[in-house]
């Protein structure tokens, strides 16, 4: 009995009859009051420190060096070295900017990019290849679906919905992502002079993009589409989101030619250089040309990096057919392998495909159309036959292509 009265809490000194529970340890006891107090101390001191460590490791992004990024892009995209270098440097600097520790008053601003290139030169493929390499949220959106707020169509904020969906609605991860806006040239205003009527799918969309590109807290509809008052919104800060814009800008070469006036006359004129410059006028593109095409100056100010993609020549198209990891010919060979058929091509067939792609001016996408036209009959008939090998000759390719709709139509 005397031993029971001597029991007390080793922390606060309360006796057994002053507390509800007295938990026995190896050399002492603790009451329920001291357990609750200790739990509060742990919650204040330990949990925030642990969460900060986790968030620091989560926020820390491991990004490859620019040379490594370009080497990765080389595996999937043939040529376009200038565009690859610009993209690699922009992506690397963007994530250096996010990971920087502010030690002084220097604040690095992000550099959004606009890529100009003819159709089929690899703008979207470059964006998809970067997305394949990076471990950050990435979304590709089409500018043609957007309209000015209040009109039928999607609001510009809905492009961030795709970014949220790509990272399972983790807002913190989405705020460090990359958005590729394709077909940016389709929202050019209809004339260089401001119109008194509303341009709801052109200049109005450009004005809506201004706050997104520069960096602001915007309310995003989680499922995309139009916003309505009763819908639950997600707040996203676009300060650390990198925007890459791409477009064909059809007809901008005439604007560039008018500006630089390449038609020089004289005995000392380098004709080869002049012809090359005339065939690749996009290499001289700048913000002035984009403004004249129809992009408003406020938008161009938020897209400081302008790069271009070279038009595809014979050698580049020939390489695109066979060299990249996901080359077109490798894809069709794999399709036939699934049927147990070994598909082979004569070298002359590749030259024929390249010439037709140049003739129709469809870029790399034209190669797929030509391949599909040549191989459609084989893909239809051979799975039902017991064939183990199939060789495509030049005669076979010409015959099959000439009966396709592309082959029947004469190029003007």
Residue 258 and residue 189 share a domain? yes
Residue 85 and residue 211 share a domain? yes
From 59, 80, 104, the end of a domain falls on 59
C-alpha span between 314 and 357 (Å, rounded)? 9
Residue 108 and residue 71 share a domain? yes
Closest to 369 in 3D by CA, of 323, 404, 322: 404
CB atoms within 10 A of CB 16: 15
C-alpha span between 58 and 20 (Å, rounded)? 44
From 59, 74, 105, the end of a domain falls on 59
When mean pLDDT is compared across 97-111, 299-313, 322-336, the lowest value belongs to: 97-111
CATH assignment of the domain containing 384 = 1.10.8.60
From 14, 35, 59, the end of a domain falls on 59
Contacts of 201 (CB under 8 A, 6+ apart): 144, 146, 147, 148, 151, 153, 187
pTM value surpassing 0.75: no
Residue 228 and residue 186 share a domain? yes
Number of separate domains in the chain: 3
Residue 365 and residue 241 share a domain? no
Residue 239 and residue 220 share a domain? yes
Residue 130 and residue 180 share a domain? yes
- Phi, psi torsion values for 362, nearest 5 degrees: -110, 5
**Domain range holding 85?**
66-308
Residue 83 and residue 184 share a domain? yes
CB atoms within 10 A of CB 380: 9
C-alpha span between 327 and 304 (Å, rounded)? 33
Residue 364 and residue 394 share a domain? yes
Q: Write down the pLDDT at residue 392.
A: 92
Residue 302 and residue 177 share a domain? yes
Residue 72 and residue 45 share a domain? no
Contact 157, 219 (CB under 8 A): yes
pLDDT, tens only, 91-141: 888 888 877 766 666 777 888 999 998 887 888 888 888 877 877 788 889
Is the pLDDT at 290 greater than 80? The verdict is yes
Residue 199 and residue 256 share a domain? yes
Q: Write down the pLDDT at residue 59.
A: 46
Is the pLDDT at 171 greater than 80? The verdict is yes
Contacts of 162 (CB under 8 A, 6+ apart): 139, 140, 141, 179, 224
In the three-class reduction of DSSP (H, G, I as helix; E, B as strand; rest coil), residue 115 is classed as strand
């Amino acid at each position: 009995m005397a031993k029971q009265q001597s029991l007390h809490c080793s922390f606060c000194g309360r006796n057994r009859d002053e507390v509800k529970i007295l938990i026995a340890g190896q050399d002492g006891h603790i009451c329920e009051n001291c357990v609750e107090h200790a739990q509060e101390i742990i919650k204040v001191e330990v949990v925030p420190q642990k969460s900060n460590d986790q968030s620091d490791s989560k926020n820390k992004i491991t990004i490859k060096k620019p040379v490594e990024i370009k080497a990765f892009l080389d595996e999937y995209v043939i040529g376009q070295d200038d565009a690859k270098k610009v993209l690699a440097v922009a992506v690397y600097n963007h994530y250096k900017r996010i990971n920087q520790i502010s030690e002084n008053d220097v604040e690095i601003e992000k550099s959004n990019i606009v890529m100009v290139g003819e159709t089929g030169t690899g703008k979207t493929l470059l964006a998809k290849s970067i997305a394949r390499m990076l471990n950050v949220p990435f979304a590709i959106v089409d500018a043609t679906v957007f309209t000015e707020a209040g009109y039928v169509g999607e609001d510009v904020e809905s492009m961030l919905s795709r970014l949220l969906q790509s990272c399972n609605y983790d807002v913190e991860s989405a705020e460090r992502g990359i958005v590729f806006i394709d077909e940016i040239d389709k929202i050019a205003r209809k004339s260089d002079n401001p119109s008194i009527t509303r341009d709801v799918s052109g200049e109005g969309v450009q004005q809506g993009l201004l706050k997104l590109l520069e960096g602001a807290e915007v309310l995003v509809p989680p499922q995309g589409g139009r916003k309505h008052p009763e819908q639950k919104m997600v707040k996203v800060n676009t300060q650390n989101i990198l925007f890459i814009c791409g477009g064909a800008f059809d007809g901008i070469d005439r604007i560039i030619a008018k500006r630089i006036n390449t038609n020089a006359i004289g005995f000392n004129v380098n004709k080869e250089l002049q012809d090359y410059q005339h065939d690749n006028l996009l290499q001289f593109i700048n913000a002035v040309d984009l403004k004249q095409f129809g992009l408003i100056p406020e938008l161009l100010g938020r897209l400081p990096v302008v790069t271009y993609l070279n038009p595809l020549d014979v050698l580049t198209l020939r390489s695109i057919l066979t060299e990249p990891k996901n080359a077109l010919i490798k894809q069709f060979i794999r399709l036939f392998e699934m049927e147990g058929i070994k598909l082979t091509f004569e070298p002359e067939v590749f030259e024929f495909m390249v010439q037709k792609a140049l003739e129709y001016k469809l870029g790399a996408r034209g190669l797929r159309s030509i391949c599909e036209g040549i191989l459609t009959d084989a893909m239809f008939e051979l799975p039902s036959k017991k064939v183990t090998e199939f060789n495509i000759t030049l005669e076979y390719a010409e015959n099959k292509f000439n009966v396709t709709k592309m082959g029947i139509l004469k190029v003007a």
